[in-house]
A and B are shown apart, each in its own frame.
Chain A
Amino acid sequence: MAADWAHAGRPVGVHGDVTAVWNDRLDRVTRERQLLISGVTAYSFFFCLKVLVSEHSALSERAVRVGRDLLYWTMYTTPRVRYGT
């Protein structure tokens, strides 16, 4: 997965829990700069990512159902003032 993330713009395979992807890189990158993220995933992945990103970034997102179990979504994130001291 880390190797995949080295190439921005390439799709990354995920399975279920967003935690690994988040800890691997997304947490840091979304704090540092604006980011456009898209995905076709189950709802829980989208929901969890949205909640995590919202902790430190302004978020605009759109999701469209592309099947009974899948969403196609995009998120545009902008870092906010960092919480805490």
Chain B
Amino acid sequence: MAEPLPPGLDNERMAGALDRFRRIVGQEWVFAGERAASYYDPYTIANDPNAHKAHAAVAPASTEQVQELVKVANEHLVPLWTVSRGKNFAYGGAAPVLTGSVVLDLSRMNRIIEVNEQFGYALVEPGVSYFDLYKYIQDRGLKLWLDVPDPGWGSVMGNALDHGVGYTPYGDHFGMQCGMEVVLASGEVVRTGMGAMPGNNTWQLFKYGFGPYVDGMFSQSNFGVVTKMGIWLMREPPGFRPYLITFPREEDIEPVVEMVRSLRLNNVLQNAATIRSLVLDAALFSTKSQYYSGAGPIPDSVARQIMADQEIGMWNFCGALYGPPAITDVLWAATRDAFASIPGVRFYFPEDRKRRPDILIHRSDTMRGIPKLTEFGFLNWNGGGGHVGFSPVSPITGKDAIKQYRMVSGRVREAGFDYMGLMAVGFRELHHVTVIVYDQANPREREKLDQLFRLMVREAAAEGYGEYRTHIHYMDTIANTYSWNNHALLRMHQTIKDALDPNGILSPGKSGIWPKRLREAGKR
């Protein structure tokens, strides 16, 4: 099957552009035909085989090559879909929103430019993975910790730019970003913050520089190609004490979240802790068929059996304490006392957990910044399938938590899936992330998932809950829920887009932002 073309381009014009790309990056770094097959969404939701299919890919090795590529893309009106490493699998992988785009694959730009132990930061290129940066730090014996998301193969920069979260006190990844280098659609290179001053030595130390703070414009956006980024790293603490607190009933989520807010705002809870559901934790190390052979979601009796077998709860609160024992002892006492009144609560440290593999042993690694791939175990729950994340944000209140849980778990179970969710604790908000594992080989199941997802988006929006991040298939859908004052924010995004990228070549459709040239054709 011929590779699809983007709107407005014919084969001749695209071939001409690819030839020019080859002259810039070298023959072997332009991928077309079969060689472009890896730039796909492994967990596609659409039943149209051409949906979100790339035409080709190009992999530059330097900022200068990115500059040259965007100049050619402007001449030929070729849409470039930028990926750092293309490993964002729950949200579309390396696949573009706009069918026929050329993927701008930055994974060859994988230099760790600096790791500064004195101040605790790294300056990296987009292709640097958490595995890479962790190894660099370990090999040199630096007293620094990463904050990692669940998949360790992801890009440090890409995850931060997509507002990804981790699990240490540095869990807000974009919050820990400091200083960027960006190639604009014109080909011009900009350094943000203090990096704009020649000879300045605080580019990775002070975010704001002078004048408007623009770094946020380049996150979840298509206003430029970020080619370098600073990220703050945590100093290795003098002590680390991970813990697991389990709760036996679904309705416990309400008082648990009330306690969590108080602990978080008082800085007793130091890290981006998570409250994880039974099936999400069970699915990491066991399969549904070990417990249940019926159709649809597991019944309550099976849930009780899993809880007993795996010593986990209906909700499992994984957190950690960081600091010298004199401090962590006090923080632990306050944490334990806060939850002690909930009937059936159980408290564990790693030494209390005898089963292997075990959820706390696994999460202990993650909460100290060790990159892994263990979380992909949940794909095995139904024998191996695709997954998509539904991720609305709410305040840290018990009322919101149980309302969201009932809304989402009700719809998910109604559609025949098990509820696999977690609530990640931010500074003032909860990210309620539900993964839906589905049979990706079954077109009817994909259609069912698509209907379910759109329904949940509508229902969440009607209650004022917005998603913080989404799959490429739903970017327009989510953008449309941020509609206050007749979509004023989206219209402002479009104005910026048209000013910075008048030919609309950079990642058309990212976060629902379409350039003028493709505003109608792209959405179709």
A19 to chain B, nearest CB (A): 5
* A48 interface contact, C-beta 8 A: yes
Contact A19 B377 (CB under 8 A): no
- Selected interface stretch from B241-249, B252-260, B368-376: B368-376
- The 6 listed contacts between A and B (C-beta, < 8 Å) are A16-B374, A17-B372, A19-B371, A44-B377, A47-B376, A84-B110
* A40 interface contact, C-beta 8 A: no
* B328 interface contact, C-beta 8 A: no
Contact of A47 among B59, B108, B379 (CB under 8 A): B379
> Which range holds the interface residue count of chain B?
20 to 34
Contact A19 B28 (CB under 8 A): no
The CA of A75 and the CA of B229, in the complex, are separated in Å by: 36
Residues of A within 8 A of B127 (CB): 83-84
Contact A69 B110 (CB under 8 A): no
Contact of B373 among A17, A42, A65, A81 (CB under 8 A): A17
Residues of A within 8 A of B28 (CB): 81
* A78 interface contact, C-beta 8 A: no
Contact B377 A85 (CB under 8 A): no
Question: Residue-by-residue, is B117-131 near A (CB-CB < 8 Å gives 1, otherwise 0)?
Answer: 000000000010000
Contact B379 A44 (CB under 8 A): yes
**How many CB-defined contacts (below 8 Å) exist between A and B?**
68
Nearest residue, chain B, Cβ from A43: B384
- Selected interface stretch from B170-178, B281-289, B403-411, B483-491: B281-289
* A52 interface contact, C-beta 8 A: yes
The CA of A44 and the CA of B386, in the complex, are separated in Å by: 10
| Pairs A-B, 6 closest by C-beta atoms | A43-B384, A17-B374, A44-B376, A42-B380, A69-B287, A84-B110
B139 to chain A, nearest CB (A): 12
Contact A52 B153 (CB under 8 A): yes
The CA of A69 and the CA of B371, in the complex, are separated in Å by: 26
Residues of B within 8 A of A (CB): 28, 38, 42, 59, 61, 87, 107-108, 110-111, 127, 152-153, 284-285, 287, 289, 357, 371-374, 376-380, 383-385
Contact A44 B357 (CB under 8 A): no
Residues of A within 8 A of B385 (CB): 43
Q: State which residues 36-65 of A face B: CB under 8 Å.
A: 42-44, 46-48, 51-52, 54-55, 65
Contact B377 A17 (CB under 8 A): yes
Residues of A within 8 A of B372 (CB): 17, 19
A83 to chain B, nearest CB (A): 5
* A7 interface contact, C-beta 8 A: no
The CA of A19 and the CA of B384, in the complex, are separated in Å by: 18
* A28 interface contact, C-beta 8 A: no
* A15 interface contact, C-beta 8 A: yes
**Max chain A C-beta neighbours (<10 A), residue from B284, B289, B380:** B380
Nearest residue, chain B, Cβ from A83: B108
Residues of A within 8 A of B (CB): 15-19, 42-44, 46-48, 51-52, 54-55, 65, 68-69, 71, 81, 83-85
Nearest residue, chain A, Cβ from B129: A55
Contact B285 A16 (CB under 8 A): yes
Prevailing SS type, chain B contact patch: loop
The CA of A44 and the CA of B374, in the complex, are separated in Å by: 9
Contact A51 B287 (CB under 8 A): no
Nearest residue, chain B, Cβ from A46: B384
Contact of A83 among B107, B287, B376, B384 (CB under 8 A): B107
B382 to chain A, nearest CB (A): 9
18 A-B pairs besides A43-B385, A47-B376, A71-B384 with CB distance below 8 A are A16-B284, A17-B374, A19-B371, A19-B374, A42-B287, A43-B384, A44-B373, A44-B378, A44-B380, A46-B384, A47-B384, A48-B373, A51-B87, A68-B383, A69-B384, A81-B28, A84-B61, A84-B111
The CA of A15 and the CA of B284, in the complex, are separated in Å by: 11
The CA of A68 and the CA of B383, in the complex, are separated in Å by: 6
Residues of B within 8 A of A85 (CB): 61, 111
Contact B108 A69 (CB under 8 A): no
Residues of B within 8 A of A69 (CB): 287, 289, 380, 383-384
Residues of A within 8 A of B373 (CB): 17-19, 44, 48
The CA of A43 and the CA of B61, in the complex, are separated in Å by: 33
Residues of A within 8 A of B284 (CB): 16
Residues of B within 8 A of A83 (CB): 59, 107-108, 110, 127
Contact A43 B108 (CB under 8 A): no
The CA of A17 and the CA of B108, in the complex, are separated in Å by: 26
Residues of B within 8 A of A44 (CB): 373, 376-380, 384
Nearest residue, chain A, Cβ from B109: A84
B362 to chain A, nearest CB (A): 8
The CA of A4 and the CA of B28, in the complex, are separated in Å by: 37
The CA of A43 and the CA of B111, in the complex, are separated in Å by: 32
Residues of B within 8 A of A15 (CB): 357
Residues of B within 8 A of A46 (CB): 384
Contact of A42 among B59, B357, B384 (CB under 8 A): B384
B179 to chain A, nearest CB (A): 22
Residues of A within 8 A of B383 (CB): 43, 65, 68-69
Contact A68 B379 (CB under 8 A): no
Nearest residue, chain A, Cβ from B356: A15
A85 to chain B, nearest CB (A): 6
